[in-house]
Amino acid sequence: MTDSVNSSARFLIVGPQGSGKGTQGVRIAAAFHIPVVSTGDVFRANVAAGTPLGQKVQAIIEAGDLVPDELTSEIVRDRLSQADAADGFLLDGYPRNLGQVSDLDDFLRGRDESLDAVIELRVPREESIARLSLRAQEQGRTDDTEEVIANRLGIYERETAPILGVYGERGIVDTIDGVGSLDEITDRIVAALEARGLIRTAAA
Ligand code: ADP
């Protein structure tokens, strides 16, 4: 990281369930040498390990509802306070509503930091439903049943999509077509970030 030219890479990746944001988030974070912080992964790991947090959130996740903002934002603040996130991070699955946007704003303002880009992955609803049913067969995630998927997509449209309006006003949203091969989509995202002057480090 010594020859890094840009001083920070603070990104969000936003998209409906089945948009491929988890997969692309990992790829983009690797390219920029920053950690991925996925709130869904944190919750699932805690459920699997049976921690007190896991016990608290298990039923919420299985219903596809949102974990309360206070709890979620605290987890994110703790994680972003770790040393490896000092110069950059990619948040996947957070913020997920306007309250969380404001929590994140407060946190970053307190550190004199701001977001560099919000990557919006767009896929048609039918495509995202098709991908989710495939994932349900392959991975058997307990929140990938038809009913819970419908709930999660509804929450995305009502609560999460509006955050793009807020970030859009700040001029930091890059809307990316999420249909194509994995490599094509990664290339589109990297090109959009580079067009903002966010350059990958030489070690990539
Ligand atoms: P998906 O985007 O497919 O719903 P995630 O892994 O992002 O999958 O999230 C899984 C679940 O974890 C959500 O349905 C929700 O219950 C919980 N969760 C994840 N991120 C958040 C968040 N930012 N706020 C509240 N709940 C969250």
Location of structure tokens 């110069």: 87
> pLDDT 10s digit of each residue in the chain, 204 long?
444 444 689 999 999 999 999 999 999 999 999 999 999 999 999 999 999 999 999 999 999 999 999 999 999 999 999 999 999 999 999 999 999 999 999 999 999 999 999 999 999 988 988 888 888 888 878 888 888 989 999 999 999 999 999 999 999 999 999 999 999 999 999 999 999 999 876 554
SS3 assignment for the chain: CCCCCCCCEEEEEECCCCCCHHHHHHHHHHHHCCCEEEHHHHHHHHHHHCCHHHHHHHHHHHHCCCCCHHHHHHHHHHHHCCHHHCCEEEEECCCCCHHHHHHHHHHHHHCCCCCCEEEEEECCHHHHHHHHHHHHHHHCCCCCCHHHHHHHHHHHHHHHHHHHHHHHHCCCEEEEECCCCHHHHHHHHHHHHHHCCCCCCCCC
What distance in angstroms lies between residue 201's CA and the mean position of ligand 1's atoms?
30
Ligand 1 pocket: which residues have CB below 6 Å? 17, 39-40, 43, 60-61, 64-67, 72, 93-94, 96, 100, 143, 152
The rounded distance, in Å, linking the Cα atoms of 26 and 149 is 23
Q: What are 18-71's pLDDT values in tens digits?
A: 999 999 999 999 999 999 999 999 999 999 999 999 999 999 999 999 999 999
pLDDT at 7 (0 to 100): 65
Q: Distance (Å, rounded) from C-alpha 179 to C-alpha 96?
A: 22
Please give the Cα distance from 137 to 101 (Å, whole number).
33
Beta bridge partners of 89: 10
Q: Which CATH superfamily is domain 2-37+88-195 in?
A: P-loop containing nucleotide triphosphate hydrolases (3.40.50.300)
Q: Which residue, chain included where needed, has tokens 């605290």?
A: 74
pTM: 0.92
pLDDT at 48: 96
Query: 193 alpha carbon to ligand 1 midpoint, in Å?
Result: 25
Ligand 1 mutation target, pool 21, 36, 38, 39, most atoms within 8 A of CB: 39
